[in-house]
């Protein structure tokens, strides 16, 4: 019995070391960084300037599958003209969109993509807030109501989500708060029957108030 006890005691440290090593290896595997951006997998930038709507939509949806981590988004916006090409495409699509035409689904996918990118990089929000990109005007355009609205409710919810993402930082929120016509559209969306549209509109208002832009908002109302 004593011999058996001594053998077990002598084996315990070894088992403990093996167990610790196993846990360390497991932690190391869990802590492996996500893969970097595969530049070769990106769609050609020329596609975003083309007139082939199915190809444009396929390229945008391809980016939605690729840009799903902070590392891939950061790598993408570091590439020359990539982010600006998306912003220019949004400008073009917003001018051409109409209910149920080919640009409608492109706008919806593109706004969703940019909204997701904002979650991973505030630089995307700052870039969209630059005056030359005219995002507040684009958003106002897409949130128009009336007998023949330019965008469906699903697209409007995505636009409001992206607008709310821009309101997360005071620097980019200022561009939203300073556009009275956009604030008017957001106010109208608060009365919308669609729950998702109302929720995203309320988020825009809440974030603007939190960043002390409530005076401008109150004036608009």
Count Cβ atoms below 10 Å from residue 205 Cβ, excluding itself: 20
Q: What pLDDT digit, counting tens, does each position of 192-212 carry?
A: 999 999 999 999 999 999 988
- What pLDDT, on a 0 to 100 scale, did the predictor assign at position 170? 86
Report which listed range, 19-33, 114-128, 140-154, is most confident.
Answer: 114-128
The rounded percent of the chain whose pLDDT value lies above 70 is 78
Angstrom CA distances, 82 to 77, 78, 138, stand at 6, 8, 19
Is 0.85 surpassed by the pTM of this model?
no
92 pLDDT exceeds 70? yes
| 178, 216 contact by CB (below 8 A) | yes
- What pLDDT, on a 0 to 100 scale, did the predictor assign at position 31? 53
Q: What pLDDT digit, counting tens, does each position of 9-31 carry?
A: 455 555 555 555 555 454 444 55
Burial of 181 (0-12, 13-18, 19+ CB in 10 A): middle
Alpha-carbon dihedral sign for residues 189, 131, 127, 151: positive
Cα 43 to Cα 58: distance, rounded to the nearest angstrom: 9
Three-state SS for 124? Answer: helix
């Amino acid at each position: 019995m004593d011999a058996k006890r001594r053998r077990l005691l002598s084996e315990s440290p070894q088992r403990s070391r093996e167990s610790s090593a196993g846990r360390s290896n497991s932690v190391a595997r869990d802590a492996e960084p996500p893969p970097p951006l595969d530049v070769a997998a990106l769609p050609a930038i020329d596609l975003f300037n083309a007139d082939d709507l199915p190809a444009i939509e396929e390229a945008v949806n391809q980016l939605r599958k690729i840009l799903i981590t902070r590392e891939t988004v950061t790598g993408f916006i570091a590439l020359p003209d990539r982010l600006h090409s998306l912003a220019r495409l949004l400008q073009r699509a917003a001018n051409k969109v109409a209910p149920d035409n080919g640009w409608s689904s492109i706008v919806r996918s593109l706004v969703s993509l940019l909204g997701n990118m904002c979650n991973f990089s505030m630089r995307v929000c700052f870039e969209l807030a630059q005056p030359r990109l005219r995002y507040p005007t684009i958003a106002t355009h897409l949130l128009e109501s009336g007998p023949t609205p330019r965008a469906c409710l699903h697209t409007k919810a995505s636009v409001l989500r992206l607008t709310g993402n821009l309101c997360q930082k005071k620097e980019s929120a200022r561009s939203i708060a300073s556009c009275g016509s956009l604030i008017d559209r957001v106010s109208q969306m608060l009365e919308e029957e669609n729950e998702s549209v109302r929720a995203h509109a309320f988020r825009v208002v809440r974030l603007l108030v939190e960043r002390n832009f409530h005076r401008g908002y109150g004036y608009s109302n």
